[in-house]
Each structure stands twice: as structure tokens, then as C-alpha cells.
Structure 1
Amino acid sequence: MHLTKDIKDYIDKSVLCWLATASLDNTPNVSPKEIFDYYGHDSIIVANIASPQTVHNIKQNANVCVSFIDILVQKGFQVKGKAEIITKTDSEFSDMEQKLIKMTEGKFPFASITKINIEHVKSIIAPKYMLYPETTEEEQIKSAKKAYGF
């Protein structure tokens, strides 16, 4: 599965993503992540800043789900795939680190990166678009700004 321009655009517009993992005994965990980006044509990378449970779960169970939306338009994507923990000894770490460190401005050190190899992608869309098909993105943005108080 390749990342389309549309998926990359939503990653660029999203402030947070939510990374869902499960332990070996299938106990779920979901954690918001601020430092993430796409990598290559088929991966998403996430800096492991304060993520001990996420890292622990991925080492036991590589199946993950990551979701991200543009909070104003209220559209985005859910991505499922296999994750791996990339450490400083891995050949890819340096390239990935350079991409993510621009986002942290060096303020949040991280010793590992979660790399999600994409297997399935599904659109996320606010129910209003389906219940009221005449809804435009501009109307949704106006409504979201009012709801969020800005």
C-alpha cells in the first residue's frame, strides 16, 4: 500500500495522530503523538518521546493502527499495518531522525522511532458529511471553529 498525495496532505495538516497498539494479551493502548510524518512511499514514522507502553506493546505485537484528521475539516485517515521500533543502531534511523527533529526543533530528544509499514488505509469523515451531503468543507470549518471556540 502506497501513501497517496491526499494521505500525505492530511498528515501535513494534522497536529496529532493517535497510535493504537495492543499487548500480547490483547490489552489495548492508544496514545496521542505529536511528532510524526510519512517516510518514503509506504511508511509513517513516529518519534518515541514518552512512549514506554507503545514501544513495549509493539515489541510484543506489531499490529497497530494510526489515525489522524484535520480537526477543522474533520476528515482524515485511519492506517493499519505492522510496526517496528527503529533504534540508533539501525541504518534508517539517521534519515528518519533528521525528518522528525525538524518538528521537535531539538527540544524533545528521542532514542527510537516507530515505523509503521502500511497495509490498509480507510478514510475518516465526520458523520455530518454523510447525514447532510450538502455540507461543504467551508461550512464544516466554520462549525468546528465555533465549537472549539476560535
Structure 2
Amino acid sequence: MIEISADVQAIIEQAMLSFVATVNEDGTPSLSPKASLTVRNGVLYFADIASPRTIQNLTRNPAVEINVVDIFQRRGYRFKGQALVLPPRGDEYLTVANWVRSTNGPEYPVDHVVRIEPTSITPILSPAHVFAKPARSQEEIRNTYYRKYGVQLTGE
């Protein structure tokens, strides 16, 4: 299994939103936003809160790609791999479901938890990282996009 580094985990936590691509029955792509992507004990998971098509697609074809990008750091990761839809009530399911409910509220349904076995993890870098000459620091890039999106940081 491919190791999920501390940086990958940090980006997932900071970005808060990821996009999961699956394959529909007719072969067309299906893209679904997820705010539940998480790493637990070195393993990648997301919860099925309102994603019946995603679960149907993964049950039929476990191929999955997930993209997560921190919009302020202008970088992230692409995960390709195989998904396993976990049955409710197992240990892995309960760990993720309890986290979703503690984060969002007890009213959030968690119908399934999906475990992802990545076959590749590759960095995603925006042009802010690739083409800037001279290279800018991560702090410079982050501050540029805080200003661009009107983010006011508190407590600094």
C-alpha cells in the first residue's frame, strides 16, 4: 500500500473539500464533491452522506480518482486507486461515521464509508508554483490568495 505522508494528510485537512470521480454505467464520468475525505491510521476514507450514485458506481466499478487542492496554497494531490464500500457497523465504518457526526452534527446520515487503496498519489501544483520566476515561497503564495479571495485572518 502507498504511504500517505504527513503533507498529504495536512492538505486534506486544510482543503476540506475534495472531488471524487467514478465511472457511470454508460462509461461517462461522474464527479461528486466530498467534505468527508479523511485519513485514519494511514488509510484514506470518505463518507457516503448523500452520494447514492457514487456508491452505485463504486459497487459496480471500484476505479476512483480523487482530487484535493488547498485553494490558498495552490497545491494539492491526485489519488488514483480502488475503492471498497464498507458495510455499516464495522470498526472502520464507525471510526469515520463518528468523526463525521462529531464534526457536522448527529443529524448527518452516514450510509456507507468508502476505503480507498491508492495505486498512485501525485502532487497537483498550480502555475503559481510552476511558472513564477523567481520562485515564491509558500507563505507568499498563500498570502496572495488570501488577499485575492478577501480572507481576513483573525488572531494574528
2: CA distance between counterparts of 1:93 and 1:145?
A: 36
Equivalences for residues 1-150 of structure 1 within 5 A: 1-41=2-42, 43-133=43-133, 134-150=135-151
**Cα shift at 1:6:** 1.2
Tell me the percent identity.
Answer: 23
2: CA distance between counterparts of 1:4 and 1:138?
A: 21
Q: Which moved more, 1:139-148 or 1:95-104?
A: 95-104
Structure 2 unaligned blocks of 5 or more: 152-156
Which SS does the other structure have where 2:85 is aligned?
A: strand
Structure 1 unaligned blocks of 5 or more: none
**Cα shift at 1:9:** 1.3
**Cα shift at 1:146:** 2.8
Q: Deviations over 1:28-56 (max 9, x none)?
A: 01111112211222x31111111011111
1:32 to 1:6, Cα distance in 2 relative to 1, 3 A: same
Give the aligned residue type for 2:39. Answer: Y
Matched length:
149
Q: Which residue of 1 aligns with 2:154?
A: none
- TM-score, length basis structure 1: 0.89
CA-atom RMSD, angstroms? 1.7
- TM-score, length basis structure 2: 0.86
